[in-house]
Amino acid sequence: MSRKLPLVVILGPTGSGKTKLSLEVATKFGGEIIGADSMQSDKLPVVVGGTNYYIESLLWRILVQNPEEKVLTQTGMLPSNQHELASSVLHEQLKRLDPAMARRLHPNNKRKILRSLEILHQRGKKHSEIIDEQCQTSMSTSGGGLRYDNAVVFWLQCDQDVLNKRLDDRVDKMIEEGLLEELLHFHKVYNQQRLLEGGPPDYTKGIFQSIGFKEFHSYLILSEAEKTSEVGRKLLQLAIDELKMVTRRYARKQIKWMSNRFLSRKDRQVPPIYALDTSDVAQWTQKVTNPAFRIVESHICGTLSTIEPLPMRDTVSVPNLLDDSYLCEVCNRIFVGKHQRDIHMNSRKHRKILANKAKQQKLSLASNEEACGR
């Protein structure tokens, strides 16, 4: 899709300053901070926040369900109990229905296996065939082409130690502003409803698995007296520490995802991605605001930016949509993509297991020969 004004996307791990920059850019250029479905051609759209996969589906023409597309038949709908089946069982189903797609997915990747089965039932067409058509159209093994020809991506980067401190401070502030009270209230309301319905507690689904809730489970189930005891105070502190650790881990996961999806796909159409260092708040204007403004201005005017975007990596480190899975019979492990398989085959762990098995076979052979000689 052609746009006169660029689509500005701001990426970065939680705590890196995305909201701050989005407000600055929107204010400077008369833009609006929006969701993907509310873009207006006369305003500069600034996209910030949302899940990584939401951002990816906004930038690229990846496979998404058309809400106006009717399901072929009732029997074509995925049975509700499918979600309760083990990943290995679902993978066997996919292997029978769409063997090409089954080869591309790890047997333990339940979410993606279910998605492929859903697509097959909803569209009456194999997921692998749809992907193959997309790849032929876009000339890329990573999915469809770009939706917008004038998009610019800002990747906010931050020193890891600085980011960790920010995230820890954010958790402390959330506690000060009433996070614990909200959790206690929600837990109370949930259990009141559960008792009315007569069902057992289920802390494995929905909001109970979100960051900021499950870490406090051991504390929340204590009685009021236990919460104020020494044990209760220790459990509360453990929960806070766990929330900080999980938040830091989530930020690292976000960084890894952005690196893999945006810089490790040499055959994919990728918009220019500009890194902005948000580590030093005192230098925010010089290192973040001003460079971002210059880059946006160059895209609006159609001129070449003096600031270089990030280069693509020479080595593709993540599998593409057409990669098959490979079984290492020595280690009994499955890898998606030749790159991941080759890394494993050359790893110290694989060589060690291979040597141990060879040694065991040699000892077993010697033992059998000795037994035959008696």
Give CA–CA dist 281/156, Å, rounded: 13
Poorest-confidence range of 182-186, 306-310, 314-318, 354-358?
Answer: 314-318
Residue 167 has pLDDT above 50, yes or no: yes
pLDDT band (50, 70, 90) for residue 372: low
pLDDT, one tens digit per residue, over 9-66 is 999 888 899 989 999 999 999 888 875 444 555 688 898 876 777 788 888 876 544 4
Strand-pair partners of 273:
153
Write a three-state SS string for the chain. Answer: CCCCCCEEEEECCCCCCHHHHHHHHHHHCCCEECCHHHCCCCCCEEEECCCHHHHHHHHECCCCCCCCCCCCCHHHCCCHHHHHCCHHHHHHHHHHHCHHHHHHCCCCCHHHHHHHHHHHHHHCCCHHHHHHHHHHHHCCCCCCCECCCCEEEEEEECCHHHHHHHHHHHHHHHHHCCHHHHHHHHHHHHHHHHHHHCCCCCCCCHHHHCCCCHHHHHHHCCCHHHHCCHHHHHHHHHHHHHHHHHHHHHHHHHHHHHHHHHHCCCCCCCCCEEEEECCCHHHHHHHHHHHHHHHHHHHHHCCCCCCCCCCCCCCCCCCCCCCCEEEECCCCEEEECHHHHHHHHCCHHHHHHHHHHHHHHHHHHHHHHHHHHC
Poorest-confidence range of 42-51, 129-138, 174-183, 306-315?
Answer: 129-138
Residue 162 has pLDDT above 90, yes or no: yes
Residue 53, CB-side half-sphere exposure with 13 Å CA sphere: 4
Identify which of 45, 33, 37 has the alpha carbon closest to the alpha carbon of residue 5.
45
What's the pTM value of the predicted model, to 2 decimals? 0.68
pLDDT, one tens digit per residue, over 191-234 is 777 767 766 666 656 666 677 778 998 898 899 999 999 999 99
pLDDT for 369:
62
Residue 75 has pLDDT above 50, yes or no: no
CA 352 to centroid of chain Cα atoms: 32
